[in-house]
Amino acid sequence: MSTILTEIEAPAAVTYTFTSESVSEGHPDKVCDAIADAILDAHLAQDSASRVACEVLVKESNVVLAGEITSNAQVDHEAVVRQTIREIGYTDADQPFRADDVNIISFLSAQAAEIAQGVDADTSLSGDQGAGDQGIMFGYATDETPELMPLPILLAHRLARVLAGHRKAGAVDWLRPDSKTQVSVAYQGNTPVAVTDVLVSTQHTAEVDRDTIRHLVATSVIPEALGGWYHDDLKILVNPTGSFVQGGPSADAGVTGRKIIVDTYGGAGRHGGGAFSGKDPSKVDRSGAYFCRFVAREIVKAGLARRAEVQVAYAIGMAQPVSVKVDTFGTGDAAAAAEFVRNGFDFRPRAIIERLDLLRPIYSSTTNYGHFGKSELPWEQAR
C-alpha cells in the first residue's frame, strides 16, 4: 500500500460562492434509499454476517426490489417496505403511492459465489477478508463548521430536516413529504462569510396558495434552520415553478443511489461514484467511504490541516488497498498528515468493520440528511 500526499490551494484572497442541495425523506430517490437501508438493518438485526446488496425502484403504486441477499435472517421484506413508506408519510388515500396499497415485486437472489469466495477470509486468496469490489472512495473534512462539514451542505440538510419537522409535527396540514432545498454560501478563501441564496421547493396540497407556503418557509423554516447564518438580505426562492402538488413516487420515479452528492459533501469533496444505501459493510463503496471520512476528520482534529481529503482504492477480493492518498490543500503539514495516516489507520475491510463496529443495524439512521456530520454515527466519533 502506498500513501501519496498533495498540496494545492487557491489564493486566500479569492472570493467565490458555493452551492449545495439536499432533499427530504419523501423525495422518490430517498424513499428507495430508505427502503434499501431498512431491509439491510432488518437482516443485520438477526444475522450480523448478512451480505446485502439491495436496490429499489419506485413509481406510482409500484415498488421493485432487486439485488443479492445472503443471510440466515428471516425477514418479511413486504412488511419492511410498507412500514418504511408509512414512516416517511405516504399514507394519503388519494395518492397512488401509499403504504397500504403499493404493489411490491421482488427480484432478490443470493450473492454470487465467486464474490463470496473473494470476500470471505477463509476462502480469499489473501487469507483475510477481501474487498467486495474494486473501486475508489473519498473522505473529506473541513474546520469551517463544528461538525467538520462544508457549510452549504450542512445548512441545506438542516433546511430539509426542519421542513420535515414542521410537517410531522402537524404545524400545518398542507405540507407533503417530497421537498428539495439549496443553499449558496459566499467564501473568502477557505472561510464562509455569508449565506447569499436559499431555495426551498416543497410538495403541498392543491388548496394552499403560494403566499401561504412562502410565509411559512421564509419566516419560520429558514430562520430556524440557518440560525446565526440568517440575515434580512437573504435572497429567498420558494416553489419557483408556482406550485408543487404532484410529487413523490406517485408522480416521479425513484431509484437507490441517485443522491450520492447529497449523501456526502454537497460537491465540496470528491466522490468515487459508489452509492451507500442497501449495502452491508463488506461493500467498500460504503465502509471505505465512511472510514475515509473518519480518517479525514482525525487529520483536521489533530491540527494537521484545516481541510483534508483521503482517497482509498481497492481490488476485489484483496484485503490491502491498492493505494491511499492524503490531500491537505495547502492548509497544513501534508507530509505529517500522510505519516499520521500511514502509521495510525488500517484500511483493510475487516479492520474498518471492527474499528467502526459496522455489523450493527445502524444504517437507517444514515439514509436521510447526509451520511456525514451526525454525531451519533461511529465514523463521526473519536476512537
C-beta separation of 326 from 302 below 8 A: no
29 among known catalytic residues? yes
209 among known catalytic residues? no
Q: Which residue has the cell 395518492?
A: 95
Query: 51, 82, 157, 258: which one is catalytic?
Result: 258
30 among known catalytic residues? yes
68 among known catalytic residues? yes
Query: 43, 180, 306, 348: which one is catalytic?
Result: 180
Query: 33, 37, 41, 55: which one is catalytic?
Result: 55
C-beta separation of 279 from 123 below 8 A: no
User: How buried is residue 336: exposed, middle or buried, by Cβ count under 10 Å (0-12/13-18/19+)?
Assistant: middle
Query: 143, 252, 333, 339: which one is catalytic?
Result: 252
CA 187 to CA 118: how far, in whole Å?
46
259 among known catalytic residues? yes
374 among known catalytic residues? no
C-beta separation of 179 from 201 below 8 A: yes
Query: 51, 77, 158, 279: which one is catalytic?
Result: 279
Query: What is the phi-psi region of residue 232: left when phi exceeds 0, alpha when psi lies from -120 to 50, beta otherwise?
Result: alpha
CA 215 to CA 231: how far, in whole Å?
16
253 among known catalytic residues? yes
Query: 7, 60, 68, 92: which one is catalytic?
Result: 68
Cα–Cα nearest to 101, from 128, 121, 120, 78: 78
Query: 43, 283, 293, 307: which one is catalytic?
Result: 283
CA 275 to CA 286: how far, in whole Å?
7
Query: 21, 30, 280, 347: which one is catalytic?
Result: 30
Cα–Cα distances in Å, from 67 out to 107, 288, 343, 361? Answer: 7, 21, 38, 19
Query: 244, 294, 329, 347: which one is catalytic?
Result: 244
27 among known catalytic residues? yes
* Nine-digit cell string for 190: 477557505
CA 162 to CA 284: how far, in whole Å?
32
Query: 27, 293, 297, 371: which one is catalytic?
Result: 27
Which amino acid type is present at position 275?
A: A
Query: 98, 259, 286, 371: which one is catalytic?
Result: 259
180 among known catalytic residues? yes
59 among known catalytic residues? no
Query: 285, 298, 309, 380: which one is catalytic?
Result: 285
Query: 73, 194, 253, 302: which one is catalytic?
Result: 253
Any idea which residues carry the catalytic annotation?
A: 27, 29-30, 55, 68, 180, 244, 252-253, 258-259, 279, 283, 285
